[in-house]
Amino acid sequence: MIILDSLFIFRLTSSFIIAGSWIAFATLWAEKLGSKIGGLISNLPSNILISLIFIAIINGIPFTVESIPGIPIGMAINSLFLFVFVISLKYGIVISTVISLTSWFLLAYIAASLSFEDFVLNIVLYIFITLSTFLFLEKIAKICSVNNTKKNYTVKQIISRAVFAGSVVASVIILAQFLPPFAVGIFATFPAVLLSTMIILVVNQSREFAQATGKILILSSSNIVIYGIGVYFTYPVLGIFMGTPLSFLLAALWVGLMRPLVRRLA
């Protein structure tokens, strides 16, 4: 129990620092590089990378592998979360946050109750939902990309951004302790990174910039699924410390392949 408590505290602390720092700098990159490339970079595995490492350490690799089929469903729900956030943002950031989070928890509860544990079917469902929401924002809602910004930030503002984002991620870890494997897979994809990223962009940039980035985040969420697939196959064979960087490399390569496509978008 002492070891478990120590591991949990270490996971909580490392998640707060690593995820908070990553989100802070990822949102800065998004603002500097524009909504297209920024949306791709911001969604590289961060919180889920840390979560799966500690799930494997605490509960074992077999438990972790059993949780992976929940990731495509979780990311499909995240696509719907972002879709709702982007569409409802015209009513203000508070209403948008409440509505999108309510929809996420409702869908996550339904998914966890139904336990769609067929990995391939879940991936197909993810692809359908993600493409549908993205195409709606691209073709019907006409959410257009926004160029980079020249706004500068002080060290204090960057640290404040990291503390806010890290606090959101750490809160999720505390809530996700005693769930079954499939539910853990879903909850590991809780949009803590996405939520804090969107709020930061709305507050520091504009509604239009956040909406444009959110559109790309829906598309780039596929790299999280790629990361999950990588973990599914590498952890049992190579272990945590070889499987993690290899899976991250696969996700990064996937983002690289998506870059030419994203550049052609409106």
Give the model confidence (pLDDT) of 1-47 as tens digits. 444 567 677 777 877 787 777 777 777 777 777 777 777 777 788 77
Residue 7 lies in a domain: no
* CA separation for the pair 127, 94 (Å, rounded): 29
Residue 122 lies in a domain: yes
- Which tens digits make up the pLDDT trace of 182-217? 666 666 667 777 887 788 888 888 888 889 888 989
Residue 55 lies in a domain: no
* CA separation for the pair 126, 79 (Å, rounded): 9
Residue 22 lies in a domain: no
Q: How many domains does the chain have?
A: 1
> Residue 179's domain spans which residues?
31-48+61-259
Residue with tokens 């949990």, as numbered in its chain: 8
Residue 265 lies in a domain: no
Q: What is the value of pTM for the model shown?
A: 0.81
* CA separation for the pair 243, 233 (Å, rounded): 8
Q: What is the DSSP string of 190-258?
A: -THHHHHHHHHHHHHT-HHHHHHHHHHHHHHTHHHHHHHHHHHHHHHHH-HHHHHHHHHHHHHHHHHHH
| Single-letter residue type at 77 | I
